[in-house]
Structure 1
Amino acid sequence: MICVETQFFNLNRILLFAVGLWPYQRTKLTRFQVILFVSILTSFIIFQFTALITTECTLEFIIKVFSTAMFFSRYVIIYNSFWVNAHSVKYLLEQLQDICDQLKDKNEIAIIGKYGNIAKYFTTIAIAGCGAFIAILLSIWSHIFHTDFHINESRQTVQIVTEYFVDQEKYFYLILLHKNAVICIGMTTLTGTGTTLLAYVTYACGMFKIASYRMENAMTTKVLQNINLINQIMIHKKIIDAVEIHCKAIKFCEFLTSTFEGSFFPLLIIDVISLSLNFYGIFRNASLGDNEAILLHLLFAFIILVYMFIINCVGQEIINHNNHVYFTAYNSQWYDAPLHIQKLILFILLRGRQTYTLNIGGGLFAASLECFATLTKASMSYFTFMYSMEE
């Protein structure tokens, strides 16, 4: 018997519990933790925009502020989305457990276990990447603050522009603590929520794979060579079981996308704009020779690209696994089956003519590698426009 939570979601549980987003055991302390973390993340964005009040707003300065503020705003959006939809996150986990409990075939259990291990493997990689990003960024900031407060020299720095309306040298350590807290909370949130959603979609791919297995197992040569009443009933049952878990996989994905569509759609728009601004920051600081600023914008652009790629990559996997169900039905020896079974297979093939995708924004975006290329191209177009305007 598979216990989804303890076997495959134990790392996700630790990450989400650390930031107060684990949907179980929501105590008063957890609510206080959520309020505190949201306040920290939101205040950091506000303190970046307040710099526009006290500083001369040139185009370059505005782009510098927005390139970082929009990056950190994604933390707030994702955090609030998971907190508001905690019941849905819990429901999806329970649905997965219920589906796993219904599996009796050892091969089907092995399939879902394989996809669970894949999700856990990606979670482990994401945690390692998150730790590396935090270590790099915190070391950069430590160097920045040392440079700013101990060298009386006017220079452009990689420091994220903020305005706290206090003496920043006097409250240096409190400001540094605030910024470090934002990085740690934000990256833990991004990793925990992202890997949880990735695990959900990976399990959906496992359901599609089981549907293909059931379809293939129903139409074996051995069974079709000896068509009798018992075999006909068995074929009917296996095809119905295949269609049933296929429908469950589609409903699972539809519930997942409908739950988080309200945050995914604005997040994609923010990512495209933020990516364009960080591309601009890279080329702008390259012309100024500011290597530290280039590294900062490279890190931000890399995180955005990786996140966009993973979202669209898992969407492409859903498309591929869904198509594989119909390819399996088409490649089976359906022509050797009785007429009423052929009609049942034909019905499945007709449904397979419509490609199933994870739609975001009312179908405006369909998660796929093509969508990733489109979003990246749009970001490059906006960056090219901004760079040409400067010239």
Structure 2
Amino acid sequence: MIRLETQYFNLNRILLLAIGLWPYQQSNFTRFQFIFLSTTLITSLIFQCTPFISQKCTSYFVTKILSSASIFALFVIKYNMFSVNIKAVKDLLKQLQLICNELKDKNEFAIINEYGCNAKRCTAALIICAICSLPVFIVAQFWSSILNNILSINVSQPHRFLIPMEYFVDQEKYFYWILLHYNVSFCIGITAMIGIGTTLLAYYQHTCGMFKIASYRIEHAMNSNMLQNINFKNELLIFEGLIWAVDIHRQAMKLTKHLQSSIQSMMFCIIVFGVASMSLNLYRIFQIIHADDTSLDNAKELILPILYTTVTFLYMFLSNHIGQYVTDHNHNVFVTVYNVRWYIAPLHIQRMILFLLQRESRDFVLNVGFFVISIEFFATLVKTSVSYFTVMYSTQ
């Protein structure tokens, strides 16, 4: 028997438990944890925007603030909107577990295991990437102090943040507290992005496994031995196999649509802020590269916009890739129905196959409003981001 929570969602469970969003353990403590972490994220976003109040706004200054604030806005949206849909996520996991409990043979278990392991490997890879990038992120913030120690410079240098922040206190005196707040917020946001994103990816991977099982059941029901030796018993087995194939295919589409409808508003906001973030950070990279100041302090400012651009690009790609993956797996069910040797089956079975072909004649896609999640849409998002960057560059 397959236990999804312990076998394939264990890494996702650890990440979501860390930020109080694992749907199966919602106690008073996790509610307090959510309020505390959400407040930390939101206040970090606010204090990144408060310099607009106290300082003169130039195009360089506005871009510097918004390039970072847009990423934190993504963190806040992702974290809070997932918490709103946590009951729906719990229900979907229960339904997925029930479907796995009804699998028929070892080949179907092997298919689900393959897709579950793919999701687990992707989660592990993203966690490793985040852990490896964290030291670079921390070193960049203490670069000036480290450089002074290496060069044995005794002159005390004022502390500088990588991005402007206004806490309305003596920032030199409370530098490390402010830095702690910023770093904790960033870690919460990255954990939320990876934890929530990979959980959704794991759901879609399992629905792709269900589509693959539907294809397997059709092939198994319409194998050559059955068709060449048609009798009453074999006809019943063929009908039963096709019915089970249609059933799991219907359940896969139902689960996918249910999940997509639950997160549609979240995904739309992420698309908008993702495009804005990529455009602003591309422009920020351009500003730093073409600045007159060529010192190491200026060069270290490249780290954050490059990191933010990479995170946004990777998230866009993975989101659209899994949408394309679901569409392709549904299409493969249609291809399987078309390729089986239906033409040597009895007429009433041929009619049933024709019904399946008509059912699959339209593509099954993931939608966010009018947008279809696919590799083509990913290319459109990147093109749009570059277009906005070009507009900002031309108006400087």
* Both structures adopt the same fold (TM-score exceeding 0.5): yes
**1:387 is aligned to 2:385:** no
Q: What is the 5 A alignment of 1:212-251?
A: 212-251=215-254
**1:374 is aligned to 2:391:** no
- In structure 2, what is the equivalent of residue 36 of structure 1? 36
- In structure 2, what is the equivalent of residue 55 of structure 1? 55
Q: What is the 5 A alignment of 1:303-342?
A: 303-342=311-350
- In structure 2, what is the equivalent of residue 108 of structure 1? 108
Task: Indicate conservation of the 8 Å contact 1:158/1:292, yes or no.
Answer: no
How far 1:158 moved relative to its partner?
Answer: 7.0
- In structure 1, what is the equivalent of residue 157 of structure 2? 151
1:132 partner letter: C
- Specify every segment of 5 or more residues in structure 1 that has no aligned partner in the other structure, as ranges: none
Q: What is the 5 A alignment of 1:193-208?
A: 193-208=196-211
Deviations 1:115-169 (A, max 9, x none): 111111111111111112322212212225778994269xxx7711111011000
1:343 partner letter: R
C-alpha distance in structure 2 between counterparts of 1:292 and 1:88, whole Å: 43
- Residues 145, 56 of structure 1: alpha-carbon distance in 2 compared, 3 angstrom cutoff: farther
Find the residue that maps to 2:127 and give its secondary structure.
helix
How far 1:344 moved relative to its partner?
Answer: 1.1
1:214 partner letter: R
Task: Indicate conservation of the 8 Å contact 2:158/2:172, yes or no.
Answer: no
Aligned residues: 385
1:15 partner letter: L
- In structure 2, what is the equivalent of residue 301 of structure 1? 309
- Specify every segment of 5 or more residues in structure 2 that has no aligned partner in the other structure, as ranges: 149-154
**1:10 is aligned to 2:10:** yes
1:384 partner letter: T
Question: RMSD between aligned alpha carbons?
Answer: 1.6
C-alpha distance in structure 1 between counterparts of 2:389 and 2:129, whole Å: 27
C-alpha distance in structure 1 between counterparts of 2:226 and 2:14, whole Å: 48
C-alpha distance in structure 1 between counterparts of 2:22 and 2:271, whole Å: 24
How far 1:277 moved relative to its partner?
Answer: 0.4
Find the residue that maps to 2:395 and give its secondary structure.
helix
Deviating above 3 A after TM superposition, structure 1's stretches of 4 or more consecutive aligned residues are: 144-150
How far 1:50 moved relative to its partner?
Answer: 0.7
C-alpha distance in structure 1 between counterparts of 2:134 and 2:166, whole Å: 23
How far 1:351 moved relative to its partner?
Answer: 2.2
Q: % of aligned pairs identical?
A: 47
TM-score in terms of structure 1 length:
0.95
Task: Indicate conservation of the 8 Å contact 1:211/1:243, yes or no.
Answer: yes
TM-score in terms of structure 2 length:
0.94
C-alpha distance in structure 2 between counterparts of 1:45 and 1:127, whole Å: 24
How far 1:240 moved relative to its partner?
Answer: 0.8
C-alpha distance in structure 2 between counterparts of 1:150 and 1:314, whole Å: 51
